[in-house]
Structure 1
């Protein structure tokens, strides 16, 4: 793997008294996440992609999670990576274990690593315990926060307290966007600068050729979990308002890709408000299916306001679609107003932005051409370089 002999032979207690190999060399990495495959949410998908790209670069990568798999507990191989599952019989298979620190410490002692990379949301009890285990073993640790919280969110206050403690332990704190990083910095003023480690995509996997569309219809698309936090019902109200503002000569149509607990309510809303001609539900689609929907679409819309990044919006932007989103979100990491799309401060502003692109085909074409001709910087080579730099910083390396 590229390790020096003395690194392989060093006793467990001494291994982490020496600096890990610097950026550009091979290191042993353990990613810790409450949820992982077979769950397929945003954090799980990004951790999987990051781990696979690191392994492809020659690093030795493993996963520690509280999510059951083929094996409820123990280690199995997924995507060629060792996945250690530390689970307890909790109602609903919640990713919680009463002795997280003990079991994670044992896993790290059995399979020593050079750096632990912990991925947390606003509530991540398993990850919190793993951070304590890594600190106990004096392993360099990077924590990436994959969420943002509002001023009244009590879980956010708890996370703020923990981040402040972790910083005193010498742990490197990061977030997936500048917006998320600033949220942490405001919540923990003594922390200083929070690193930004953005999510990444394989840009070439999303690029599409130009297709001619019917100029009398503005085809919208969104890809999301149909859940209250993603604001499914507000999106339907936005589309309804946009159609009213666009007038009878222009049809607006939304394809809503995804599934979740709010789907039945959303379908009822569409039926009750006579929106069947404006909204289609596709259910969950794989990569090829989403690409095909993107190819039929003119604009991507993202209604959520507590979005720390917005990976589906980045994929749509790579496909050449202008993105309409709220200006308070982490999507502004890669969407600038009137550059890659349109940003709005309110839902009413989003409806107006949709109506404006329905009317102004020149602006629609301009935004689309920019996105097709200019690749986003959040590609995996850039993301991997940022992550390697964070690992070096965790060991105070230049």
Structure 2
């Protein structure tokens, strides 16, 4: 199958959507499909692993709509799969062009709107009415279904890449990875860390690492210094390899965002063997079960209490870690790719099963 993946944001910028679209493209190629990524994210270096068409943009809006129309209407693509947040002009435009050109379109929402949010009707109005809506988790999809038919289309992961030998003889370590924005709530995480430190005996060494960059980086760094620079670290943005290495010396992962659409970073930590303590309001609950892979909480005060209890109960902590290192989540890449291809095929019934490449 010939697939156009469309995302306003892409590598070399780092983030959840950027990494997911790249990983999805790689996995689809390995499954025998032809993939091209369309984006408005600039880069000084040509892509080597996935074909990428980078379109010019001004103030976030693509300026070469005709080039996009020419490419998508060329007959070279069987399906257009657009990936959207709350502001994704390229993704929205691509679905409308696909409809004009008779190319089936799928659109995936990667953000979780608040209950009662007026954004969803506005978002739907910007997308082709013929596009098949999907959400990255059940909670996203349920909110989408208030304005349009929608299905779940999970993000994927390769668990083995995260299962590295754990380091011994180290302090108890809390980690969290996020883009430092208000929506991800790094300030709330620092309040949680302060409460955890106050709840654990001072003679027990404790370390916290908050990975990420973003517009709240400077404010987060100032707040972290007040907590105590000797135990709270902000290394900035790290590569996937660097995060994997860091997790070998970690014990617990905290996810403080209340509107977490899926939680790729939390899923990666869970596969690395870290118990995840996350807000129950988001999508993390699809791979974290209470007392099995971690805990879901209703407030940041509860998050601090649960984290402190777990860090001072080493047998329970090690049991959860062992379970996470030895048990795969349901959203491994083979399963996720099968879901994608099945949905792509449904959008175009003219394609026979024999047309699709076998992954056997």
- 8 Å contact from structure 1 (residues 302, 324) kept in 2: yes
Q: Give the paired residue count.
A: 351
Residue 300 of structure 1 pairs with residue 253 of structure 2: yes
| TM-score of the pair, normalised by structure 1 | 0.82
Cα distance, 1:266 vs. partner? 1.4
Structure number with greater Rg is 1
- Cα 1:241/1:107, change in 2 over 3 Å: same
Does residue 261 (structure 1) correspond to residue 215 (structure 2)? The answer is yes
Contact in 2 for aligned 1:33/1:127 (Cα 8 Å): yes
1:170-181 equivalence runs, <5 A? 171-181=131-141
* SS in structure 2 at match of 1:148: coil
Structure 1 counterpart of 2:60? 95
Secondary structure, counterpart of 2:259 in structure 1:
coil
Give per-residue Cα distances to partners, 1:39-60, cap 9 Å, x unaligned. Answer: 2221111111111111122211
The answer on 1:134 being equivalent to 2:98 is yes
CA offsets 1:315-371 (integer angstroms, 9 cap, x no match): 111111111111111111211111100110111111111111122222211211110
- Listed as ranges, the gaps of 5+ residues in structure 1 are 1-26, 72-76
Q: In the superposition, relative to structure 1, how do residues 255 and 80 fare at CA in structure 2: closer, same or farther (>3 Å)?
A: closer
CA distance in 1, matches of 2:232, 2:166: 24
Shift of 1:99: 5.6
Quote how far apart the aligned CAs of 1:270 are: 2.3
**Shift of residue 147 of structure 1?**
0.8
Alpha-carbon spacing, 1:274–1:41, altered in 2? closer, same or farther (3 Å)? closer
**Secondary structure of the residue that 1:282 maps to in structure 2?**
strand
Match of 2:72 among 87, 93, 108: 108
Q: CA deviation at 1:153?
A: 4.4
Answer yes or no: is 1:207 the counterpart of 2:163.
yes
> Which aligned pairs between 1:1-398 and structure 2 lie closer than 5 A?
27-70=1-44, 78-88=47-57, 90=58, 94-98=59-63, 100=65, 102-110=66-74, 112-151=76-115, 153-162=117-126, 166=129, 169=130, 171-185=131-145, 187-188=146-147, 191-192=148-149, 194-213=150-169, 217-271=171-225, 273-396=226-349
Give secondary structure in 1 for the equivalent of 2:24. helix
Structure 2 SS opposite 1:280: strand
Q: Distance in 2 between matches of 1:80 and 1:268?
A: 39
Secondary structure of 1:106's match?
helix
* Cα distance in 2 for residues equivalent to 1:382 and 1:247: 44
| Aligned residue number for residue 357 of structure 2 | none
Q: Distance in 1 between matches of 2:223 and 2:95?
A: 43
TM-score (norm 2): 0.91
Q: Is the 8 A contact 1:198 1:378 kept in 2?
A: yes
Residues 194 and 227 of structure 2 are in contact (CA less than 8 Å); yes or no, is this contact kept in structure 1? no
RMSD: 2.1
Deviations 1:298-329 (A, max 9, x none): 11111111211111111111111111111111
